[in-house]
Amino acid sequence: MSTLEILQFPDPGLRHRARPVVELDTAALRGQAQDMLETMYSASGIGLAAIQVGIDKRLIVMDISEDRGNPVVLVNPELLVRKGRRSMTEGCLSVPDYTDTVERADRIRYRALKLDGSPVEEWCDGLLATCIQHEIDHLDGRLFIDRLSLLKSRRVRKKLEKAHRSGVPQPLPAGVQSAVL
């Protein structure tokens, strides 16, 4: 197992659509999922998309439990239905030192595969629904700051680009966590 480097905005590697996983139930895929979980836990995140660690696959890991003992791995996740709207404070391990309120669907039905290739399809809501939508966005090259108002999104992108150029330190994962809890 090893922790992986998390790409930071404005890395262009965060801006493409990740490719579907075609080979399930392989040692390689399990190994990548394990490394992603280790990376997510060590950064105190509640989710991580493969694209954030430079892996071009539609693969996400999550753990929204309080004791950090409930790892979830989803392969090729898809939103099937969105219901209602809800605003939540979000942060992102790829967006240093910034949190903001994002409006998303409140309740979703999603479909995905488990590591062994077996299908999952279910409704969820609350933090899990927010997290799945945030991670699927990553797989489509989208970040939560793209979902702010146009004016705000532009202002935030400029500010973060400037901070990036001047070599400001990496995100404090605890900041992201406090946005969650």
Catalytic residue positions, numbered: 135
Nearest to 86 by CA among 124, 130, 119: 130
Considering the complex, state which of residue 87 and residue 121 has its C-beta at the smaller distance from Ni ion: 87
Contact assessment for residue 98 and residue 160, using Cβ atoms and an 8 Å cutoff: yes
Residue nearest to ligand GNR (CB): 45
> Minimum distance between the CB of residue 79 and ligand GNR, rounded to whole angstroms?
15
Collapsed DSSP state (helix, strand, coil) of residue 120? strand
**Measured distance CA(112)–CA(18) in Å, rounded:** 15
Contact assessment for residue 88 and residue 130, using Cβ atoms and an 8 Å cutoff: yes
> Minimum distance between the CB of residue 93 and ligand GNR, rounded to whole angstroms?
4
- By CB under 6 A, what part of segment 4-63 binds ligand GNR? 45-49, 52
> Minimum distance between the CB of residue 47 and ligand GNR, rounded to whole angstroms?
4
User: Is cis: bond before 20, omega within 30 of 0?
Assistant: no
Considering the complex, state which of residue 74 and residue 92 has its C-beta at the smaller distance from Ni ion: 92
- By CB under 6 A, what part of segment 80-119 binds ligand GNR? 90-94
Partner interacting with residue 90 (select from Ni ion, ligand GNR, none; CB below 5-8 Å by kind):
ligand GNR
Residue 19 carries which DSSP code? Answer: P
Backbone phi, psi, residue 27, to 5°: -65, -35
Considering the complex, state which of residue 57 and residue 134 has its C-beta at the smaller distance from ligand GNR: 134
The 10 Å Cβ neighbour count of residue 136 is 21
Among residues 73, 75, 92, 145, which is the contact residue for Ni ion, using CB under 5 A? Answer: 92
Give the interface with Ni ion as residue ranges (CB under 5 A): 92
